[in-house]
Structure 1
Amino acid sequence: MIPVTKTFLPSLEEYNSYLKRAWDKAWLTNRGELTIELEDKLKKQLQVPEIIITNNGTIPLQIALKLFGNNGEVITTPFSYVATSAAIVWENCKPVFVDIHPEYLTIDETKIEAAITQKTTTILATHVFGNPCNVDAIEKIALKHNLKVIYDAAHCFGVNYNNQSVFNYGDISTCSFHATKIFHTGEGGALFCKDKELNHKLFYSHNFGHNGPLDFHGLGINAKISELQSAMGLAVFNNLEVIFEERKKVVDHYNTALNSTNLSKMKIRQNTQWNYSYYPVIFDTEATLLKVQEALAYEKIVPRRYFYPSLNTIPYTKGEPMPISESIASRILCLPLYVGLTQNELEKITSIINKLLC
């Protein structure tokens, strides 16, 4: 089978070398030396002032919304993974959807102001498939209306925009270190924040609110990563150059081989150093997508309808119609992309698609 993705696994020997350090210290959680080391390496790699590693990629959104949401309305995108909207509802806020740009697939910044009301507290936008939102325009809107900005940057490890990490934009940015991501800790995530006072709140919020063992800064939850996860992160970190190189080869092949006029591709925003995180293709109709999906499945090739469905159509979000997002969601398919995908496999995938679209 050729799946849509495969977890990159470092050598077991490499992983075990980090695990042994945790075993020798008998320290498996509560920010041990592996976690501290990983945070330091990631700060340097990503060129960010601060990072707080967490035990998954959704809880950073929940913590950010706990601080900013105030049970109000959160303007967000209907085209994202379900965790984006689910976190809003989970934190007792109301998602207010704004439709997306048909080429960049990110929230359409020109439609945000029309959605702002007296109840709006926050803008939560997703950098879709690692493609940055129009962060400059969103920042201007947020400043004008005194709103906070959270970016769901789950797909953005290694993405730079305007010569700096995309994690440096917004009041808070979040990332996922899930096993399917470019960089992973098995299960994990991260919080990024440039403001020192706010970063302090994020830090104690992810550790039960602790101020030492017997005092508390304030309300908190357990979002700490374990040393077992950090060990995986350190082992994967050592292979980042190979990971990016191999993923770029796959993307380059798709870019060259898939040129049908019945298929379109996501437009990467100008001044972006992209990370080859996903390869979405958009068909002219849903019927075409289903035909391609069936033909690939017959050859045991398993792409993914990602993101589908449009989040405004999920009952608990109670969203208004979003025609562009709903249309894109019905016609978009992410093709297999991972380290280890062979040239023969790539040619097989693209040959099947091209034959059906000719």
Structure 2
Amino acid sequence: MKRLPLIAPNPPRLSEHLDALRRVEASGVFSNNGPEVRAFEAGVTQALFGGHGACLAVGNATLGLMLAIRHASGMRTGGLNPKQGTLALMPALTFAATAQAAAWAGLTPLICDIDPDDWAACALEEERLLARHGERVGVVVPYATFGNAIDLERYVYFQQRYGVGVVVDAASSLGTLDDAGLGFGACAPFAVVHSMHATKTFAVGEGGLIHSGDVDLIATLRSMGNFGFEGSRNATLPGINAKLPEITAIIAQAKLAEIDSVADHRAALEQAYRAALPGFQFQSVSGQRRAMQFMPVLLPERLAHHRDSIVESIEASGVGCGRYFSPHLGEQPWFQATAMIEPTPVADKIAGRMLSLPITDAMSVDDARRAAAALADACAAILRPLDRRASVRGPGAAVASVIVIGGGPAGTAMLTAATKRGLLPDFAASGLMVIERSGAIGGGRLGRYAITSDSTAQTFLTAVRDNTHPELARLVDHPAGRAVAAHIDALGVPLTEVGPLLRATGDRLTDIVRANGGVVLTGHEALGVRRVGEGVWSVQLRRLSDGHVFDQLARNIVVATGGHQPLDRLATQRVAGGQLADLASGRLIQSDDVLTVGGFEKVADILTGKRNPRIAVIGGSTSALTTIALLLKRQPGLPLGAGAITLLHRRPLRPFYHSVEAAHAEGFTDFGPDDICPVSGFVYRLAGFRLEARDLVLRMLRVDGRAPDPRVALHRIAGDDDAAARTIIEEADLVIAALGYRPIAAPIADRDGLPIPLAAQGGKPMVDRHCRIVDGDGAPIAGLYGLGLAAGFVPWGPLGGEPSFSGQANGLWLWQNDVGLMIVDQVMASQVMAAA
């Protein structure tokens, strides 16, 4: 039985076109956009693209992407020179050339997740990242996945709405027809780059084609592909040599003559595969016909980890089999070191299940059925023993040493703390398991906030700089690390730029944990925790992909699930003697809604039509001051007049100072001995506002002659009979409650299944001074720890802090150092005791 190779290059035979070769030799023109290249460009424009726009033939598709990306990324600056740090947004499921071309054009790839149906870039993710990163995104580079005719109207909208450049990587699409029956991208106002590599349906050998409905764009790209020469031998544009040789153009013309029959035949093979494999998942397809390079198909999810065995079985039957594109961009070492990678749970899952089966010009429909049968038989051979096997609880039937519930900034900060003392390998080997709902650990929700951090750039970088693990230390030079470093000595860092660094850190921590025997379960959530024995807890977990629920035993649990602003708090909150919900009826939102990406736009919508809006912000926390700072500085701004924003607060507003001398130098003396940290000498180390919030407070308090912002007024609430405070709230057009955060905690039950009352449920701190979760009576619960936003931890002893401080301390630096190590040390000590 003949072997069916995965890919069988079938370019036209050059030996059958001797007349054309002699024609080239007689002309004396072998390159430089000669007559054969021009004839091919004109012919393909007419035959495949209905005469719309123009085409430019180039040496290969990667050169075409480099030209087009460099040109499109200059749209932001009105020229052809993108700013340093400009991003190229692209999906994870594409070939390496997409990201490599962006890097060679001087951009940093920004890799996003994909759609679960058509496997192209996820539209919601693209728009979220365009909104988050703004003008930093110079170009969007969608991939027409496996020759699919993706929706280009979306990218026309992006170009118009965000002013961003667009280049479509259509490497496998030359021969694909859209819904109108035209070649894919025929009328696109941007560049659509096709490949003519020997392995493609439009097989030439080596070559590429850029098409656009914009004739002037193609003319500019032609000059860029000729060293940047425009009508003379003076470089007026950035340029490279991207020209297609005349001899290759002869082969391209021959291929053009047969492409319809080739593509139609391959489309018939695709349909044969789909009919023969009804139980398998295929890509959702758009357009009238696509130029198939091979047949992508997904394994059943339960068989994904048997993929290597399945491939071996298929290959042994004489059928070629591949794994395009696995690993995807976000899983490849070079891009992990140089790109900014968003969580990609869908791409991770799709790439992990992906197989590629043969589609070649020489195959018959029966050959496609044979290849499909080889796949089905290989899967069936594995499924039969699996079905006979008894089910197990889940990924870890053994008792884990510690389960960390939540892989956001707090949970991963504890892991980072362990790396600083070289403890993470041993901590992981002892039986560490991290549970995270999203597709990756590290970032959590932090990158979704459209505000500046209350930590310095140096604080974020200390987590990785000079780390004992080289892969972490190298993040200082990673694009995400450099983006944070650009804000050194500034008033904080935009959290949208912090998020990528935390996610990159999380990726490296994941690798370290797994390499040392630990487990990182992404895409899972903890439903509850129950005591099942002396020193043993059971965590009920749910796999989000299919709802499968299982139990995992552990001796210790760390709850690092973060905090939230519960709506039910607003229903009971009293301010100045009245119910807040009644005083601000229909005009009340929470600060978290304002601070996240898109929150300012929500406020602007609410205040539409208000010529002189009045806003009341309630609370004396950092979130209250940050909310005001956001409302003041966003552009285009709100029409805020004098006293438009009133901050209603109960406690005095205190600025942080590095020393008593620094405070006195500015004439600030509103503090006493109990307000000074005995360890660091800082004034209001824990209670004081920092960075941007501090700057606003200093102005409002007129410290050292600073002028207050006339748009902001302060009102300190004077008890329950403060009629003025009630009036401010009642007359405001919008009331923003910045009342702090409460911990998000999984239900915790005792052996009998009854809930264990927790201190946090009564509004008290969730943890004690050793980060142990405490019950309703304030007693620590053995084996349970808490860390992160709203946990309620207060530094003490060598950790420092002013004696007068009565709140809770939330800080990434603390979590990544002493507080994180406090938990690590206790867990590892308990393991030693258990082993003894």
Aligned counterpart, 2:147:
130
Q: Which moves more between the two structures, 173-182 or 243-252?
A: 243-252
Please name the residue that 1:300 is paired with. Answer: 318
Comparing 344-353 with 276-285, greater Cα deviation is found at 344-353
Taking the aligned partners of 1:196 and 1:155, their CA distance within structure 2 comes to 23
The aligned runs of 1:227-242 (5 Å cut-off) are: 227-242=246-261
| Percent sequence identity over aligned pairs | 22
Please tell me whether residue 340 in structure 1 is matched to residue 341 in structure 2: no
In the alignment, the residues of structure 1 paired with residue 257 and residue 205 of structure 2 have an alpha-carbon distance, to the nearest angstrom, of 15
User: Quick check: 1:314 aligned with 2:332?
Assistant: yes
129-138 or 318-327: bigger deviation: 129-138
**Inter-CA distance 192–275: structure 2 relative to 1 (3 Å threshold):** same
1:81 to 92, 95, 112: 95
- The Cα of 1:276 is off from its aligned counterpart by 3.2
Q: Which residue of 1 aligns with 2:112?
A: 98
CA distance in 2, matches of 1:254, 1:162: 22
Unpaired segments ≥5 residues, structure 1: none
CA contact (8 A) 1:283 1:332 kept: yes
What do the CA deviations read for 1:284-303 (whole angstroms, capped 9, x no partner)? 23234323211111123222
Q: Deviations over 1:173-205 (max 9, x none)?
A: 111111111113210001122334332211100
- Count of residues in correspondence between the two structures: 355
Does 2:289 align with 1:273?
Answer: yes
TM-score, normalising length from structure 1? 0.92
Deviation of 1:344 after TM superposition, in Å, equals: 5.1
Contiguous gaps of at least 5 residues in structure 2: 74-81, 381-836
- Give yes or no for the alignment of 1:68 onto 2:68: no
Return the match for 1:326 from 341, 348, 373: 348
- TM-score, length basis structure 2: 0.41
Output the CA distance in 2 between the equivalents of 1:231 and 1:39: 11
Q: Deviations over 1:44-69 (max 9, x none)?
A: 11223100000001011111122233
Relative to structure 1, is the Cα distance of residues 142 and 25 closer, same or farther in structure 2, using a 3 angstrom cutoff?
Answer: closer
Structure having the higher Rg: 2
Are the equivalent residues in 2 in contact too, given 1:246–1:339 (CA < 8 A)? yes
- Taking the aligned partners of 1:171 and 1:213, their CA distance within structure 2 comes to 26
Distance 1:171 1:253 in 2: 35
Alignment counterpart, residue 108 of structure 1, candidates 103, 122, 128: 122
Distance, in Å, in 1 between the alignment partners of 2:215 and 2:259 is 29
* 1:26, distance to aligned residue in structure 2 (A): 2.9
Aligned partner (choices 146, 155, 164) of residue 163 of structure 2 = 146
Contact 2:7 2:359 in 1 (8 A): yes
CA spacing shift, 1:315–1:283, aligned 2, 3 Å: same
Contact 1:79 1:307 in 2 (8 A): yes
Q: Which runs of 4+ in 1 moved over 6 A?
A: none
Corresponding residue for 1:199? 218
CA distance in structure 2 between the aligned counterparts of 1:24 and 1:124, rounded to whole angstroms: 41
Q: Which amino acid aligns with 2:298?
A: I
Q: Call closer, same or farther: CA 1:344–1:225 in 2, change over 3 Å.
A: same
Of the candidates 287, 291, 308, which is equivalent to residue 290 of structure 1?
Answer: 308
- Name the SS for the 2:60 alignment partner: coil
Local SS of the residue matching 2:99: helix
| In the alignment, structure 1 residue 177 sits paired with structure 2 residue 199 | no
Whole-Å separation in 2 of the counterparts to 1:258 and 1:26:
54
Q: Structure 1 counterpart of 2:10, which letter?
A: F
* Deviation of 1:316 (Å): 3.0
Q: Does 1:220 align with 2:222?
A: no
Structure 2: distance between partners of 1:280 and 1:128: 10
Residues 6, 294 of structure 2: 8 Å contact kept: no
Deviation of residue 224 (structure 1)?
0.3
1:11 Cα offset (Å):
4.2
CA distance in 2, matches of 1:298, 1:145: 51
* Amino acid corresponding to residue 4 of structure 2 in structure 1: I
* Residue of structure 2 aligned with 1:159, choices 153, 173, 176: 176
Does the 8 Å CA contact 1:185/1:231 hold for their aligned counterparts?
Answer: no
